Amino acid sequence: MAILRLSRNDGGYIPEGIYQAVILYVYIDSAVKVGDNLCDQIVIVYQAAVGQFLRTVRERYFLPYRENCRLASVLQSFLGYVPDQFDSDNLIDMDCYIRIQHKELASGQTWCYVDEVFPMVEES
């Protein structure tokens, strides 16, 4: 098992829009406190081309994996269907487009998140 030293999102603010990206890492975060509950999450770390720079964005998806969850829509965009099971390592190095959206937090800060993932369509 490889152990990676990961930094937080590398700059915080990314303007809303659609960006070309690649999946760098996928890992499981166990027993994450969400409200009063503990849950497992799969974390996908995207590297997006934002202007002249490459920016890292990490997005968390709740487990368990269900057909109508956000993770299923990511898999649907890559595979064209929602598989019964998948190996998360197969997502690494996949090219895609991500849509960055903003949400204002109670603290007044802006939270940038991956709202949607689109497949990279090869020209024929």
What mean pLDDT is predicted for residues 29-45?
89
What mean pLDDT is predicted for residues 44-64?
91
* Residue 105 confidence (pLDDT): 85
Q: Are 90 and 79 in contact (CB under 8 A)?
A: no
What pLDDT digit, counting tens, does each position of 79-92 carry? 888 888 889 899 99
Q: What angle do CA 16, 102, 122 make, to 5 degrees?
A: 40
63: buried, middle or exposed (CB in 10 Å: 19+, 13-18, 0-12)?
A: middle
What pLDDT digit, counting tens, does each position of 67-120 carry? 888 999 999 988 888 888 889 899 999 999 999 999 888 888 888 899 999 998
